[in-house]
Amino acid sequence: MTDQDNSAVEPLALFGGTFDPVHYGHLRCADEARQKLTLSKLYLLPAGTPVHRDVPQATVGQRLDMLELARTEFPHLLIDDRETRRSGPSYMVETLQELRVSFPDRPLILLVGQDAANLLHTWHRWKQLFELAHIVILTRPATHTRYEKNLAKQLQARSETDGRKLFDSKAGAVLQLEVEPVDVSATDIKHVIRSGGSPRSMLPATVLEYITANRLYLTN
C-alpha cells in the first residue's frame, strides 16, 4: 500500500492473520465481505511476529509468496506487508496508528473472524482499536460468539447493522457480517498434510503446489 492510495473516499479495509498457510476460509470470506461492504479492494495483512499464537512454521517470505499466489484467484484482495517489515510483535493497534497517520481522513475497517473477535479483549491496547478503525466480525463455522464482559459492553455500544454507515465516519462502529461458511483452518490443512493426505479443496492449487515444492508442514 502506498500513501498515494488515497484516491477514493472508500474505506481502507484490512484482514489480518498469520496465513500459515492462506486458505479458502480466509480468501472466500474476505472477498465476500469485501463485496457485501461494496469495497473495490481489501488488504490481507500478514503478521510478522504474531502475538497470540505459536511461531509460524513457514517463513515470512514463504507466507508472502503463498499470499501472492492466492491472489490470482482473488484479484480484489491485495497484500499489505507492513507488519512483516516491522521488528517486534505485530501489534494491530500500532499498525492502525501507522495507517491513520498516512490516511488521516479515511475510514479504516478491520475485519476479524469470530474466533479472533472473541479474544479482542486480550489484544494490546485493545480499547484503542475502536478509536482507530471500524471492526467487522465475520461468522466462522463451529465458532460461537463468546465475549468477555468489558468487550461485550464495547461491542454492544458500537453495534451497527448498515454497512454503508462505515463510509460515513472514520472509526468506532462494529458490524457483525454473516458470510458463507467455509469450514477450513490452517490447523486442519497442516494436519491433512502431516497425515499424508492432500488438502486440495481447502486452498488454491497454486498455493498447494508451492507447499509441496517447498516441503512445508510435513512435520510439527
CB closer to ligand ATP out of 6 and 147: 147
Half-sphere exposure of 190 (CA within 13 A, CB side): 14
Pinpoint the alpha helices (H) of 19-81: 24-36, 60-70
Q: Judge residue 201's burial from the number of C-beta atoms within 10 Å of its C-beta, 0-12 exposed, 13-18 middle, 19 or more buried.
A: exposed
DSSP state of 164: G
CB closer to ligand ATP out of 110 and 171: 110
CB closer to ligand ATP out of 154 and 185: 185
Cβ neighbours of residue 111 closer than 8 Å, sequence gap 6 or more: 13, 14, 15, 30, 33, 42, 135, 136, 137, 138
CB closer to ligand ATP out of 12 and 29: 29
Q: How far is the CB of 144 from ligand ATP (least distance, A)?
A: 13
Q: Which residue has the cell 499464537?
A: 53
Q: How far is the CB of 143 from ligand ATP (least distance, A)?
A: 8
Q: How far is the CB of 48 from ligand ATP (least distance, A)?
A: 13
- By CB under 6 A, name the binding residues for ligand ATP: 17-19, 25-26, 29, 112-113, 115-116, 138, 140, 182, 184-187
Q: How far is the CB of 112 from ligand ATP (least distance, A)?
A: 4
